[in-house]
Structure 1
Amino acid sequence: MLHQQSYEALREAYRRGRVSPVAVIESALLHAEQVGASLNAFAFIDRNKALNLARASEDRWRNGSPLSPLDGMPFTVKEFAAVKGWPTRRGSLVTTTELADKDAVFVGRLLAAGAVLFAKTRAPEFNWKGVTDSPGYGITRNPLDPALTPGGSSGGCSAAVAAGVVRASIGSDAGGSVRIPAAFTGTLALKPTYGLIPLVPQPSAFFNVVHAGPIAASVAELTDVMRVVSGPESADWSSVGLRESIFDTIPGSGSLRVGLLANHRWEDSCAAVKQGMRETLDILASGGFDTRTVDFDIRQATQVAARFYRLGCLAAVQAVPEHARGKLDPDLLTFVEPARDIDVTALMGMNQARDVLAGELNKVFDDIDVLMLPTLPIVAFEAGHNTPVGWPDDDWMSWNPYTPAFNLTHNPALSFPIKPRNEKLPIGVQLVAAKGQDSKLIALAAWLEQHTRA
């Protein structure tokens, strides 16, 4: 299909006049309609907007004046994002049907770069869990096997990318919500340094653990997206001081020092994850990388992060009028109950623990450039369930012990897909860097991509 070509190939085709952005978006729209019923990846599709954007892109390419490397590229965003003229339902039946009156900053940047935005993707209610389904909008499924979940909460984004409808989609991540679905679908995802992608005009209930980030089919395309959407915005104080050019220069991979998180921190991962990690280490060793073992209490950091996350979910529930809460996902109401016991004293303790843990992690990067550990201890499981069938705990965060820690500490974290030998499903290898060092993750991921996809 036309739209499944890489950004690089499409740019060359546009430049030479061999293919039109209009033909490409028509191909993407047709594909989205074809997989819509089987995957339930899309919350909203705007064919007219897409065709208008594509026609404008076609004129620019014909005149030799594209706006950016994303000009004419089909694109989707998670349904939490404000898009002018589109509803923002956030996976819920209780949210407003009113149309947004302005774009989120990163949406505006995509449109200003000429991206052809045509759809919003599915998410669970208020982004509350690591799989994608909701009482009002059904179950989103994994293109690798529709019986399985694509993960969440940005599961619609990962399904759209893994199915080949788009090459990149932007989701949100407050506890792993772009990295989890990337690991389950064999795609790439980056949770960038906190603030690098501004999150305005819509403040989040999730304190300052929520990030926006892309899920993509390749490192090059992920980087193209980050170059467009990252950079400071005066209305988002957390972004002030961050450089727009953070992705302009990618360091060489050969000088990177890679630290493997001590095995006892993730030894209860499933066999496929262990196998994938061993194979990744072998690939790095064959490339002459300086690897060493480092230690960090990942589970304690995740436990603290999970308390912030649960409190954010409670705030989202409490913002719903009491008379409408009966329409909410019953599992969400159960999930937030423990957060009701968090008082001011407990909240202060959580912040103090965060300071200590973030400091400990920061020290790790005195000796390494990239920390490596699994994204998740499991592979994709049955769709329509919050936990794998037979799992001893009904809390979805019990199978997600490695991603929330880096929301807590604001470090950039990238999930890289590895398909272990003799395994049916991919795993995610999580790469983490010091704050502001996102480009080191891009460098290592690009090297791994070259040496695993040959």
Structure 2
Amino acid sequence: MSYPRALHEWSAPALIGAYRRRELSPLEVTQSVLGHIERWEHRLQALYLLRPELALEQARASETRWLRGAPLGPLDGVPVTIKDNIATRGDPTPLGTAAVELMPATADAPPAARVRESGGVIIAKTTMPDYGMLSSGLSSFHPLARNPWDLRLTPGGSSAGAGAAAAAGYGPLHIGTDIGGSLRLPAGWCGIFTLKPSLGRVPIDPPYMGRAAGPMTREVVDAAWFMQVLARADARDSMNLPPQQIDWETFDQGADRLKGLRIGLLLEAGCGLPVDPEIRAAVAQAARLFENAGATVLPMKPFMTQAMLDGMDHFWRMRCHVDMKALPSARKAQVLPYIREWGDSAASMNGEAVFRAFSQFHETRVRTVAACAAFDYVISPTSPVTAAPADHASPTNDPMRPLEHIGFTVPFNMSEQPASSINCGYTRAGLPIGLQIAGRRFDDLGVLQVSRAFELIRGEQRPWPQPPSEAVDHVD
């Protein structure tokens, strides 16, 4: 039979439906994804531990289960990639840096365990920068990851490879992590969708303040489908939310979901880099679409301050400094120089300075919750700027000003609120522009529903980037 799109572009629900009807085999879908990767990966460099033979082995096992009518779960036979820092049993977890001693993980971390239990076909791990501390694909361990929309540019980070893989069509489902914007920034710069869930909604190991794992996909439907697996409880995460029956399949309520909503429009972060005029215009146009669909959109005053952003930056510097002090000197020397300079800048901080820096996390939480209380949802730019050059560690490329681009994203990590990023337009140069949609704490399903409603009203999207053999190669 003929298919409307190449198999590597099919959504997860469409694949499961085709498997159930025996119209498709997980083996032929995996072969399609691997073939597409072969055409793209030599330029994108999004993947780590790409082992086609293991992926095909998983696909054959899935095919057998479907032929018996006994799939393991809603991911059985669906291709998935998993970020480097999410442990997979038997594989090393380098955390993006050459400084880590490569030892096989003894167990799957919770997101990987849920994928394996549900029969997902793990195609590969995805790349990230050193310790996940950059909004870039620059790494001392992995090759430099690039943005499929323009290979001269970064895909963002720290879920760099996952963002690039999703935009390039390496199958429908990808898992990343986020502590200040590491899901949403690459999503925004790669034109894809992501959900940073409420803290604890998707269990992770090790858990950490503000750190969340979440789906990265081309379409909202895939992220919602993935959440029914990723959100299952796991006792290893001390911040795991109590088990809750959420009907993730009800996420699509159409554009009517927007009627009567009270939406806050945040066009200035209050700190960091100024918003690019093209990004401001695209987000303002998105706000008009919300209004046309029946929502009330009201402007918000910035609630973040530079002191809050700097405090979080300085505390994270100290955390990095302490981690690097524990390394033998030869291993520390292998850390990316940008990260070394950034972390070691905290060496002279005294206890009071560290306490004051840490206090800004709570201040950010309180300010964010208070600012959002009057609204059902808040929309804003995902990032104030578009993708930086691929070899830049951050948009400023300055280790003394490393977080100037996360003023819109980081507050929702600290407030534990769910926030998505969805494409809302393009620059004159053809680069994607991300719209962030944040909801109240625990309202992950609502954020998915509102994101889907916007997906329906945002207008026609540009075609996804194609491998260099089929398009202009932009690498200098």
Instruction: Quote the residue 2:413 is aligned against.
Output: 407
Determine whether 1:346 maps to 2:353. yes
Determine whether 1:156 maps to 2:157. no
Query: What amino acid sits opposite 2:65 in the alignment?
Result: R
Which of 301, 308, 330 is residue 323 of structure 1 equivalent to?
A: 330
Cα pair distance change 1:421/1:326, threshold 3 Å: closer
Instruction: Quote the residue 2:470 is aligned against.
Output: none
Aligned pairs for 1:126-145 (under 5 A) are 126-145=131-150
Q: Provide the rounded CA distance (Å) in 2 between the counterparts of 1:339 and 1:392.
A: 15
Instruction: Quote the residue 2:30 is aligned against.
Output: 25
Cα pair distance change 1:262/1:83, threshold 3 Å: closer
Q: Provide the rounded CA distance (Å) in 2 between the counterparts of 1:431 and 1:444.
A: 8
Which of 181, 192, 196 is residue 191 of structure 1 equivalent to?
A: 196
Query: What amino acid sits opposite 2:278 in the alignment?
Result: A
Q: State the shift of 1:149 in Å.
A: 0.8
Query: What amino acid sits opposite 1:217 in the alignment?
Result: R
Instruction: Quote the residue 2:376 is aligned against.
Output: 369
Instruction: Quote the residue 1:114 is aligned against.
Output: 119
Instruction: Quote the residue 1:82 is aligned against.
Output: 87
Q: Is the 1:232–1:244 contact (alpha carbons within 8 Å) kept by the matching residues of 2?
A: no
Cα pair distance change 1:11/1:134, threshold 3 Å: same
Cα pair distance change 1:369/1:337, threshold 3 Å: same
Aligned pairs for 1:43-58 (under 5 A) are 43-58=48-63
Which of 157, 163, 167 is residue 172 of structure 2 equivalent to?
A: 167
Q: Is the 2:342–2:400 contact (alpha carbons within 8 Å) kept by the matching residues of 1?
A: no
Determine whether 1:383 maps to 2:384. no
* Identity of matched residues, %: 29
Q: Provide the rounded CA distance (Å) in 2 between the counterparts of 1:453 and 1:14.
A: 31
Cα pair distance change 1:100/1:388, threshold 3 Å: closer
Q: State the shift of 1:351 in Å.
A: 4.4
Determine whether 1:8 maps to 2:13. yes
Q: Provide the rounded CA distance (Å) in 2 between the counterparts of 1:237 and 1:394.
A: 33
Q: Provide the rounded CA distance (Å) in 1 between the counterparts of 2:289 and 2:448.
A: 17
Aligned pairs for 1:170-249 (under 5 A) are 170-200=175-205, 203=206, 207-241=208-242, 243=244, 245=246, 247=248
Q: Is the 2:195–2:214 contact (alpha carbons within 8 Å) kept by the matching residues of 1?
A: yes
Deviates more, 1:297-306 or 1:11-20: 297-306
Q: State the shift of 1:443 in Å.
A: 1.1
Q: Is the 2:92–2:105 contact (alpha carbons within 8 Å) kept by the matching residues of 1?
A: yes
Determine whether 1:428 maps to 2:434. yes
Instruction: Quote the residue 2:474 is aligned against.
Output: none
Q: Provide the rounded CA distance (Å) in 1 between the counterparts of 2:416 and 2:318.
A: 18
Q: Provide the rounded CA distance (Å) in 1 between the counterparts of 2:183 and 2:15.
A: 25
SS at match of 2:347: helix
Q: Is the 1:168–1:221 contact (alpha carbons within 8 Å) kept by the matching residues of 2?
A: yes
Which of 273, 279, 293 is residue 279 of structure 2 equivalent to?
A: 273
Q: Is the 2:384–2:405 contact (alpha carbons within 8 Å) kept by the matching residues of 1?
A: yes
Deviates more, 1:43-52 or 1:258-267: 258-267
Deviates more, 1:406-415 or 1:78-87: 406-415
Instruction: Quote the residue 2:468 is aligned against.
Output: none
Q: Provide the rounded CA distance (Å) in 2 between the counterparts of 1:315 and 1:172.
A: 22
Q: State the shift of 1:118 in Å.
A: 1.7
Q: Provide the rounded CA distance (Å) in 2 between the counterparts of 1:297 and 1:364.
A: 7
Q: State the shift of 1:332 in Å.
A: 0.6
Q: State the shift of 1:103 in Å.
A: 0.4
Query: What amino acid sits opposite 2:223 in the alignment?
Result: L
| Length-normalised TM-score, structure 1 | 0.92
Q: Provide the rounded CA distance (Å) in 1 between the counterparts of 2:364 and 2:46.
A: 36
Instruction: Quote the residue 1:288 is aligned against.
Output: 294
Q: Provide the rounded CA distance (Å) in 1 between the counterparts of 2:400 and 2:150.
A: 23
Query: 1:153-211 CA distances to partner (integer Å, 9 max, x unpaired)?
Result: 111001110000122211111111111111111011111111111122xx36xx41222
Instruction: Quote the residue 2:469 is aligned against.
Output: none
Q: Provide the rounded CA distance (Å) in 2 between the counterparts of 1:339 and 1:77.
A: 32
Instruction: Quote the residue 1:313 is aligned against.
Output: 320
Instruction: Quote the residue 1:302 is aligned against.
Output: 309
Q: State the shift of 1:245 in Å.
A: 2.5
SS at match of 2:37: helix
Q: State the shift of 1:262 in Å.
A: 5.6
SS at match of 1:156: helix
Instruction: Quote the residue 1:416 is aligned against.
Output: 422
SS at match of 1:239: coil
Q: Provide the rounded CA distance (Å) in 2 between the counterparts of 1:45 and 1:180.
A: 24
Deviates more, 1:217-226 or 1:333-342: 333-342
Cα pair distance change 1:305/1:231, threshold 3 Å: farther
Cα pair distance change 1:247/1:363, threshold 3 Å: farther
Q: Is the 1:416–1:429 contact (alpha carbons within 8 Å) kept by the matching residues of 2?
A: yes
Q: Provide the rounded CA distance (Å) in 2 between the counterparts of 1:433 and 1:191.
A: 11
Alignment root-mean-square deviation, CA: 2.3
SS at match of 2:147: coil
Deviates more, 1:291-300 or 1:391-400: 391-400
Cα pair distance change 1:312/1:437, threshold 3 Å: farther
Q: State the shift of 1:419 in Å.
A: 1.6
Query: What amino acid sits opposite 1:373 in the alignment?
Result: S
SS at match of 1:102: coil
SS at match of 2:115: helix
**Aligned residue pairs, count:** 449
Deviates more, 1:215-224 or 1:267-276: 267-276
Q: State the shift of 1:47 in Å.
A: 2.1
Q: Provide the rounded CA distance (Å) in 1 between the counterparts of 2:431 and 2:123.
A: 30
Q: State the shift of 1:133 in Å.
A: 1.5
Query: What amino acid sits opposite 1:371 in the alignment?
Result: V
Cα pair distance change 1:361/1:240, threshold 3 Å: same
Residue ranges of structure 2 left out of the alignment (5+ in a row): 1-5, 461-476
Q: Is the 2:420–2:438 contact (alpha carbons within 8 Å) kept by the matching residues of 1?
A: yes
Q: Provide the rounded CA distance (Å) in 2 between the counterparts of 1:353 and 1:275.
A: 31
Q: State the shift of 1:43 in Å.
A: 1.3
SS at match of 2:106: coil
Q: State the shift of 1:249 in Å.
A: 5.0
